[in-house]
Structure 1
């Protein structure tokens, strides 16, 4: 599945179907990762991945939330 990555620059070697696969991650770039892979699920839990087709995992939003202009700079 294709995802939009929003974490720090990094890379990983994944074992996919018994073969090593190197993946580089750059913020704002698309990556193709297996949905059932434990590393993919970890990146989703960290909110570093959003499905490109807009289909987020059940119970998750399709985009990361950011503070609105009205709340930026105001104390809590």
Structure 2
């Protein structure tokens, strides 16, 4: 699923082995069922792209 990221610049290796760099105000494709992605959603650092642009 495509997400809009609006958190601090960071990098992570997901459980699947994918290395991801996250930059503020970027759109990125991430797996919805990943525990780290769920944490970022809870922190409101990630928003599904459709929702991010509907709120503007």
TM-score range, shorter chain: 0.7 to 0.9
1:27-42 alignment runs, 5 A limit? 27-42=24-39
Q: TM-score, normalised by structure 2?
A: 0.86
Q: Which structure: greater helix fraction?
A: 2
> For the aligned residues, what is the CA RMSD?
1.7
Displacement of 1:15 after TM fit? 2.1
Distance in 2 (alpha carbons) for counterparts of 1:36 and 1:15: 11
Q: TM-score, normalised by structure 1?
A: 0.65
Distance in 1 (alpha carbons) for counterparts of 2:27 and 2:11: 13
2:9 maps to: 9
SS of equivalent to 2:41: helix
Displacement of 1:33 after TM fit? 0.8
Q: Give runs of ≥4 in structure 1 deviating > 4 Å.
A: none
- Unaligned ranges ≥5, structure 2: none
Paired residues, what number?
54
